[in-house]
């Protein structure tokens, strides 16, 4: 069976790093490239982090620097309280040799989609600026996208404000562009990612494997869990971004409900809210497939198997 082709647009980020790890060696996925966006930290830092992950895991995947600020919002939000000053505090890497490609991340997305047979899934695990800018610059790519799978939003509680989740609130206008594009959209929100808390016993389980991926997982989660405990009181950090990749590896890991979703780009208090019409109350045609539950055991098995791929000399 042909591998599913994906572009991963991300803002590494501890959990983005695990998403890269899981996608890059999956026998079911072909990771065509990584475009990086400002989010958890400035784009210079998130690019550096993506390059470090690829170099450390010996991944021959091109990395492209994308947008350094939201489409419209003046204020660039970062998440240093969760991901640290570097955006991926914790692991110590060898001097960085791998460099980003010359092409801009937005142009990479456009060129790759335009040159495809319409069989590419775009996964976003950071603010959606790069994908939205690509859609605005070149609307022809919209019909070429097989599916957008995003980590972002929530139909319940947010994590930056009660209303909004980080990836959306950082650039809600970008999310609006994507959610109104007509693409097939699968939204993996906090509603399910907060069910996969990376408890110490999970870290210990994943660390039992003797390979670079296991070691990186442990180093990343040690920092991530500490900051998540300090900020939110979680006993284990919610492993947000890899849920998108786990869904592509085994869609049965998620329970999906079709909903009409509208992004709040106008209000003050609720700016960045993904207003998901859970009860179909508006009568509006659903434009998104929203994850409403996750098979937690299956998810951790997928993560464990993803780490195992780095032992098999691949």
Which residues are annotated as catalytic? 11
Task: Go through 159-187 and write b for each residue having 16 or more CB atoms within 10 A of its CB, e for each that does not.
Answer: bbbebbbbbbbbbbbbbbbbbebebebbb
Nearer to ligand RIB, 16 or 144 (CB): 16
Ranges within 234-293 binding Ca ion (CB under 5 A): 241
Which of ligand RIB, Ca ion, none sits in contact with 165, Cβ below 5 to 8 A by type?
A: ligand RIB
Contacts of Ca ion in 12-41 (CB under 5 A): 13, 16
Q: Is there binding between residue 130 and ligand RIB (CB under 6 A)?
A: no
Candidates 107, 159, 181, 274; binder of ligand RIB (CB under 6 A) is: 159
Instruction: Rule CB under 6 A: say whether 13 interacts with ligand RIB.
Output: yes
Burial (CB count within 10 angstroms: exposed 0-12, middle 13-18, buried 19+), residue 227: buried
CB 269 within 8 A of CB 220: no
Nearest approach in angstroms of CB 158 to Ca ion is 15
Burial of 89 (0-12, 13-18, 19+ CB in 10 A): buried
Residue nearest ligand RIB (C-beta atom): 166
Determine, following the binding rule CB under 6 A, whether residue 39 of this chain makes contact with ligand RIB.
Answer: yes
Q: Helix axis angle, 212-232 relative to 43-56, nearest 10°?
A: 150
Tell me which of ligand RIB, Ca ion, none is bound by residue 171, counting a contact when its beta carbon lies within the kind-specific cut-off of 5 to 8 angstroms.
none
Half-sphere exposure of 117 (CA within 13 A, CB side): 3
Q: How far is the CB of 165 from ligand RIB (least distance, A)?
A: 5
Residue 116 to residue 60: CA distance in whole angstroms: 20
Q: Are 254 and 291 in contact (CB under 8 A)?
A: yes
Task: Give min distance, CB of 10 to ligand RIB, in A.
Answer: 8
CB closer to ligand RIB, 144 vs 187: 187
- Which stretches of the chain bind ligand RIB, using CB under 6 A? 11, 13, 15-16, 39-40, 79, 125-126, 151, 159, 165-167, 240-241
């Amino acid at each position: 069976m042909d591998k599913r082709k994906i572009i991963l647009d991300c803002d590494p980020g501890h959990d983005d790093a695990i998403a890269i790890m899981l996608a890059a060696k999956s026998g079911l996925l072909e990771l065509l490239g990584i475009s990086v966006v400002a989010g958890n930290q400035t784009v210079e830092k998130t690019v550096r982090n993506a390059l470090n992950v690829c170099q450390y895991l010996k991944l021959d995947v091109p990395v492209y620097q994308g947008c350094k600020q939201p489409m419209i919002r003046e204020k660039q939000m970062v998440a240093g309280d969760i991901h640290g000053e570097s955006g991926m505090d914790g692991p110590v890497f060898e001097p960085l040799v791998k460099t980003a490609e010359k092409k801009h991340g937005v142009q990479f997305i456009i060129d790759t989609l335009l040159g495809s047979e319409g069989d590419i899934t775009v996964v976003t695990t950071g603010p959606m600026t790069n994908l939205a800018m690509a859609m605005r610059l070149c609307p022809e790519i919209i019909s070429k996208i097989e599916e957008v799978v995003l980590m972002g939003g929530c139909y319940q509680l947010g994590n930056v404000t009660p209303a909004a989740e980080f990836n959306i609130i950082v650039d809600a206008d970008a999310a609006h562009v994507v959610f109104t594009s007509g693409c097939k959209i699968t939204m993996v929100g906090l509603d399910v990612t907060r069910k996969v808390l990376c408890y110490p016993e999970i870290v210990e389980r994943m660390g039992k494997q003797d390979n670079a991926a296991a070691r990186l997982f442990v180093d990343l989660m040690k920092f991530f869990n500490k900051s998540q405990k300090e900020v939110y009181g979680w006993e284990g950090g919610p492993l947000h971004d890899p849920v998108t990749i786990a869904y592509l590896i085994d869609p049965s890991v998620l329970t999906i409900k079709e909903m009409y979703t509208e992004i709040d780009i106008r209000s003050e208090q609720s700016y960045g809210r993904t207003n998901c019409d859970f009860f179909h109350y508006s009568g509006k045609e659903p434009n998104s497939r929203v994850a409403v539950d996750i098979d937690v055991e299956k998810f951790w098995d997928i993560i464990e198997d993803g780490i195992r791929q780095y032992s098999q000399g691949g």
